[in-house]
Chains A and B, each alone.
Chain A
Amino acid sequence: MAKMVQFFGSRWGIISAGVFVGVFAPLLQHWGNPKNMGICVACMERDIAGALGLHRAAVVQYIRPEIIGFVLGALIAAVLFREFKPRGGSSPVIRFFLGLFAMIGALVFLGCPWRALLRLAGGDWNAIVGLAGLAFGIWIGILFLKSGYTLGRSTKTGSFSGLVFPIVMIVLLLFLLFAPQFGRTPEGTPTGPIFFSQKGPGSQHAPIVVSLIIALCVGFLAQRTRLCTMGAIRDVILIRNTHLLSGILGIVIAAFIMNLILGQFKASFSDQPIAHANHLWNFLGMVLAGLAFALAGGCPGRQLFLSGEGDGDAAIFATGMIVGAGFAHNFSMASSPAGPGAYGPASVIIGLIFCIVAGFTMREKMA
């Protein structure tokens, strides 16, 4: 056990976790997931929001087992290595809205940081613009952190508090498997409350068992190695440390090689799958996402893994993301391959204002 702890904490440990994601994300795409979306925490949470009827964009509704697996895989690792520590209470309302606005920013770009890396590895050069925006947003977040920004301390809570989010994941798994149809259309056809896309990205998915097993492994490895895209960029800027970055490079290089092998690499700015080429809003969408991730202490994947460890604050952030996805589609904020949604730019500006106000006002004298 001690040797495993040592390995996972080492540079080779985090590179292994990154390579695992980089190998299996393109394979998940090969086995049925949407293009350049083998894994995307934002898109997959958006699909879950749609499947639950929180938005009615018919092409992006599916309960993605990957999200379920990430949380439960992290829970298994945390319990096995005695790191399951139920905790919470660190400015939950702010965290909820950071999650909500992070999702809006990510859906203006069309992807979370992991999908940005996978899009890059698939030859979608718009990802470079998005990653630049992400880094810029994180840099702004670091300025706030260095000047005393904090959401305050979390405190220990009862075990049940830490188990609520994993239990929600198990309920989602049951919804995925049984897809209850309680409602009826005027024609009498069964419908809702669980909606699955009949066409579009939501209808494209790898077999459930395959997705779930891979995601459990990713959740396990990421919990052990602390894999975090936002943290990787943040640590390089903040303390000149490249430990987390090596995991991210592992993802990109492995995914690039896999895409070449699988014939999934296509280099261009235009006509990329589930992407648009509006550079300004690709950049600013990810500035918002990066800033929100930095202020909340982790990328969307990391927030799921922390939720599996019993971190109720991370679970609130993830819930905010799912609710944010509902708003993003219901209020025409999310982008489509045609470009930003009608209210996407305005919502990004509102989100940036929220984050900046939080950055300036949330502070506490540290001991």
Chain B
Amino acid sequence: MSQIIDARGLSCPQPVIAADRKMKELGRGVFEVLVDTETAKENIARLAQQSGWKIETKQEGGDIRLLLEKT
């Protein structure tokens, strides 16, 4: 069961800060981030790309689930 960060409704850049903090805390592994704007999704995707984390996105109604993984 991966850890989940609920970043829905948070202003820019708080979703990115939360994801960045989790990446640094884990070093590697798997976690999920729930967001509700395309902007938050794009920002976290860019962060993942530059930090070497793989990212998968899944639309869930009005929300977006981001699965981040680094092996």
Interfacial residues, chain A to chain B (CB-CB below 8 A): 9, 83, 85, 87, 90, 145-146, 150-156, 226, 231, 234-235, 238-241, 243, 296-298, 313, 366-367
Contact = CB atoms under 8 A, between A and B. Distances in A.
Interface string B41-61: 010001100100000000000
A87 B8 CA distance: 11
B18 A87 contact: no
Contacts of B20: 238-239
Contacts, number: 60
A241 B11 contact: no
B9 A87 contact: yes
Residue in A151, A235, A367 with the greatest tally of chain B CB atoms within 10 Å? A367
Given A85-B37, A85-B62, A150 B13 contact: no
Contacts of A9: 42
- 6 nearest interchain CB pairs? A153-B9, A297-B11, A367-B6, A154-B9, A297-B12, A226-B39
A298 B40 CA distance: 13
Contacts of B4: 367
Contact of B17 (A155, A231, A238): A238
B16 interface: yes
Interface of B: 4-14, 16-18, 20, 36-39, 42, 46-47, 50, 62
B11 A231 contact: no
> Majority SS of interface residues in chain B?
mixed
Given A90-B11, A238-B17, 12 more contacts: A85-B37, A87-B9, A155-B9, A238-B13, A239-B50, A240-B50, A241-B46, A241-B47, A297-B12, A298-B12, A313-B11, A367-B6
A126 to B, nearest CB: 29
A87 B20 CA distance: 25
B12 A243 contact: no
Contacts of A226: 39, 42
17 contacts: A9-B42, A83-B38, A85-B37, A90-B9, A145-B14, A155-B9, A156-B62, A226-B39, A235-B13, A241-B47, A243-B46, A297-B11, A297-B13, A366-B10, A366-B18, A367-B6, A367-B7
B13 A234 contact: yes
